[in-house]
A and B are shown apart, each in its own frame.
Chain A
Amino acid sequence: MMDMWQNIILTIATAATPLLIAALGELVVERSGVLNLGVEGMMIMGAVTGFAVALATGNPWLGMIGAIIIGSLFSLLFGFLVLSIATNQVATGLSLTLLGIGLSGMIGEEFVGEPGVKLSNIEIPGLVDIPLVGRLLFGQDPIFYISIALVFGVMWFLFKTRTGLTLRSVGDNHDSAHALGIPVLRYRYFAVMFGGACAGLAGAHLTLVYTPQWIENMTSGRGWIALALVVFASWRPLRLLAGAYLFGAVSIGQLHAQALGLGIPSQFLSSLPYLATIVVLVIISTNRRLTLMNTPACLGKPFVPAR
């Protein structure tokens, strides 16, 4: 009985981890005032890269690193357009997603049906056998630990470091920041690349941990859910942690419900995560005043230095 609960929580953690990582990256991007709707595209690029590199080298760690690198390079395409050329962020983000889905499909075509390489769990002998929490705390996949470290790392960076403060100031008012001599675009470039790296890692989690195989379009909207999570979390890392696990629970819950065969059509259960996203967005956005207070003031606004 206890083991069953631990197993359920474990599966929730596995479902929540990619959402959490991708959303954390986007949180930093949005804190710098940039809205990157290309999370889905960067994530799927990370997924296919992780799979391909792991398959080619036999080393899932290299796959993970490759996914991080490709994710951040891919985000640079977006970064160049919206930062250097000041294009519309919404449209450019969308095009990144479309391009990512296309490219990953092209690259991944030869991998369809191939078994992948799994990133094995890190198990601390002895501790992993502690009842109830052993496996949860001491026997999970490496990306899970990275995700938790990232939550606190991002918190520390944003709210305890000078660079984090500067990044937030750029998102709050880029004109003021520019007047003070803060290199607005440089901060945003780094933020966008961090977001890309996180999305790439989140994608790698799908093909190296979650389901070690390549299926076209396998992110199936997780990148978009991550975007919604950032709004849900009001741009705060700890709330993001809670939100990601809530969503993990919803998606695992609907899977269990499908397995139990409650007589509810599976399609309705499958649509629950998407419907939940909508409901959560509505609830969190209804208080306009609160949303206005929390949203980085420059979010989505193009910045062209006046001269």
Chain B
Amino acid sequence: MLDFCLQPFSNAGMVSEEADNNKKQPEEPAPGQTMAGSDGVPMLEVRQIVKSFGPLKANDNVSLSVGSGEIHSLLGENGAGKSTLVKMLYGSLQPDTGEILWQGKPVNITSPSMARQTGIGMVFQHFSLFDSLSVADNILLSLEESFATSDVADKARQLSIDYGLPLNPHSIVGDLSVGERQRVEIVRCLLQNPDLIILDEPTSVLTPQEAENLFETLERLRSEGRSILYISHRLEEVKRMCDRATILRHGKVVGECDPAQETAESLASLMVGTNVNKANRRAAGEIGDPLLEITGANLPAGSPFAIALKNVNLTVRGGEVVGIAGVAGNGQSEFFRLVSGEDVIANADAINIRGTACGSSGINERRSLGAAFVPEERLGHGAIPDLSLSENLLLSRHGSDSAAFLRMGKLGLIRTEITLDATARICEKMDVRKTGEDPDASSLSGGNLQKFIMGRELDRQPSLLIVNQPTWGVDAGAAARIRQAMMDLAQSGCAVLVISQDLDEIFEISDRITVMHDGELSEPIPIEDATYEKIGLLMGGANPGHVLPEVEEHHHDDTTSGGAE
């Protein structure tokens, strides 16, 4: 009552609160102090959380706080415990000990539904979407029961327009591009009107330009007073976007900082614990003969949501690394199947390996020509989880090395001792950490298994290596080793073709860069001429120099107005 007299402007404040009762005003943090909400309490506070899985402490005494209107970054390597923490915040997991405070009050978040009711929204890295359902149904599924079914579509459409994330609520999610799927995730999250939004590696699937749009959306959300917990390992964007950062390593908080004050290098060394060296760029070596030539290859789409490859042309010469950039789902896996021979085509001449036409030959024939392949999925494609390493060795090499590994011809007996020896040799060379002599592939960590798979192919001393997503989900140490191995291989005269979503990686190791978009491959650009912007535009589908957007627009008008033929 007294306060009322003392605050002449309280009325105005109340009005704005009435109008926007869930949107808090941003507040500048006092220097050196924790960012706090309007009443001095952080939006979310995590105190000394511990979560163990058997002997492994995934989260060891983790504390962190996120203020209102703050973009807070959670930094850490693969396996540092970020996703465990996030799952506890979103109610998918329960902490063993420790507490979570929401706007100052302890809460026990027992389910994702409760997290949503509390005001926590989540945008998943691996989208939690349903391919066969419409956008509206996908959104409806994450809303509480009370939400009126009928107007989900309208509200979603309105919201998506408001935030500049256009969506058609009636399209089927399986038909959408990766960027559009992320929009569905974001719109779905925003419809719950959350106070805290958790984004898990949101830009890893976007073009630089799409990422830019996302940043604008995030800044707008921040200005509405919402808090954002931003999980990423891309240091540049963290530096640019985030107000504060908490760094996790091996399940523990190892530091908290203002990213703007740090350098990418200092953040990286905090994350990894040691200094990670970038791969040594070799002196431009001798560029040799073409070892892989693809001319006018086509591959029709094999399944409902697959991409057809159209008129693919590419030459890779000995001694060079060619990088294929692109947003996931633009035909990279189809391309891998095409060059590897997992899918054969009738036109043998479309693919040449070391001068031999092999478009119609299978994968083992191509291996015999000197090619080696590393697919994207480790478990279930490049290796079989329930088989031992030595059996997984045989998986890709029974054909090309049949003389070494088999007795009595091709249908013959497996020489177990020799496969075991080779396995030991590869593990030694690539520093694969494992328990036991010949464990199941599933018992290895992602990084160690990838080193093994890579080592399996390098052990053959191939003259052409084709790798899809070489370091996806791999820790920084293993990733550095794998990149170095690929560059060394090129140095020794081998042709290396790398397909990767990670633009930094592409720029780090490639001599020439090409972009895959909607099943088409762009003209390769030498690394000297390549910029993130140029490559980003190509990833988004622009094709400068070929068709101008205006021309395309005009053409579109023509067809809609009845097609003047």
Contacts and interface: CB of A to CB of B under 8 A. Distances in A.
Interface in A165-198: 165-166, 168-169, 172-173, 175-182
A91 interface: no
Contacts of B130: 168-169, 172-173, 176-177
B141 A166 contact: yes
Interface stretch (A63-71, A201-209, A270-278, A289-297): A289-297
Contacts of A172: 130-133
Contacts of A175: 126, 128
Contact of B141 (A180, A292, A296): A180
Contacts of B131: 172-173, 297
Nearest to B53: A307
19 contacts: A162-B145, A165-B140, A169-B130, A173-B128, A173-B130, A173-B131, A176-B127, A176-B128, A176-B130, A177-B130, A179-B92, A179-B112, A180-B112, A181-B112, A181-B116, A182-B141, A289-B303, A289-B304, A292-B303
Interface in B95-145: 111-113, 115-116, 124, 126-133, 137, 140-142, 145
Contacts of B115: 181
Contacts of B140: 162, 165
B46 interface: no
B149 interface: yes
A218 to B, nearest CB: 38
Given A169-B137, A179-B112, A179-B124, 20 more contacts: A162-B140, A162-B149, A166-B141, A168-B133, A169-B141, A172-B133, A173-B131, A175-B128, A176-B129, A176-B130, A177-B128, A177-B130, A179-B92, A179-B128, A180-B112, A180-B128, A181-B92, A181-B111, A181-B116, A296-B132
Contacts of B176: none
Nearest to A290: B304
What is the interface residue range for chain A against chain B? 20 to 34
Contacts of A293: 132, 304
Interface of A: 162, 165-166, 168-169, 172-173, 175-182, 289, 292-293, 296-297, 307
Interface of B: 53, 91-93, 111-113, 115-116, 124, 126-133, 137, 140-142, 145, 149, 303-304
A194 B493 CA distance: 64
A177 B128 CA distance: 7
Contact of A180 (B137, B142, B145, B149): B142
B174 to A, nearest CB: 9
Candidate in A176, A182, A293, A307 with the most chain B CB atoms within 10 angstroms: A176
Candidate in A168, A172, A180, A289 with the most chain B CB atoms within 10 angstroms: A180
Contacts of A173: 128-131
Contacts of A297: 131-132
Contact of B93 (A166, A176, A296, A307): A307
A175 B115 CA distance: 18
Candidate in B93, B126, B141 with the most chain A CB atoms within 10 angstroms: B141
A165 B141 contact: yes
Contacts of B93: 307
Nearest to B141: A169
A169 B133 CA distance: 8
A186 to B, nearest CB: 12
Contacts of A182: 141
Contacts of A176: 127-130
A289 to B, nearest CB: 6
A293 B175 CA distance: 12
B226 to A, nearest CB: 20
User: 7 closest Cβ contacts across the A-B interface?
Assistant: A181-B112, A176-B128, A179-B128, A172-B130, A181-B113, A172-B132, A169-B130
Nearest to A166: B141
Candidate in B53, B111, B116, B128 with the most chain A CB atoms within 10 angstroms: B128
Nearest to A293: B304
Contacts of B92: 178-179, 181
Contacts of A292: 303-304
Candidate in B92, B126, B132, B137 with the most chain A CB atoms within 10 angstroms: B132
Nearest to B132: A172
Contacts of A168: 130, 132-133
Contacts of B53: 307
A181 B91 CA distance: 8
A136 to B, nearest CB: 37
Contacts of B112: 179-181
Nearest to A307: B93
A114 B536 CA distance: 79
A168 B133 CA distance: 9
A112 to B, nearest CB: 47
Contacts of B111: 181
Nearest to A289: B304
Contacts of A165: 133, 137, 140-141
Nearest to B143: A162
Contacts of B137: 165, 169
Contacts of B127: 176
A253 B88 CA distance: 62
A173 B304 CA distance: 16
Nearest to B115: A181
Contacts of B128: 173, 175-177, 179-180
A172 B174 CA distance: 11
Contacts of A179: 92, 112, 124, 128
A173 B131 CA distance: 8
Contacts of B149: 162
Contacts of B126: 175
Nearest to A288: B303
Contacts of B116: 181
A296 B132 CA distance: 8
A14 B142 CA distance: 43
Contacts of A289: 303-304
A56 to B, nearest CB: 43
A166 B143 CA distance: 11
A292 B133 CA distance: 14
A278 B126 CA distance: 40
A299 to B, nearest CB: 12
A166 B145 CA distance: 11
B169 to A, nearest CB: 14
Contacts of B113: 181
A168 B172 CA distance: 14
A297 B303 CA distance: 13
A252 to B, nearest CB: 36
A307 B115 CA distance: 18
A223 B145 CA distance: 36
Contacts of A178: 92
A168 B113 CA distance: 19
Contacts of A162: 140, 145, 149
A169 B53 CA distance: 29
A8 to B, nearest CB: 39
Contacts of A307: 53, 93
A293 B137 CA distance: 17
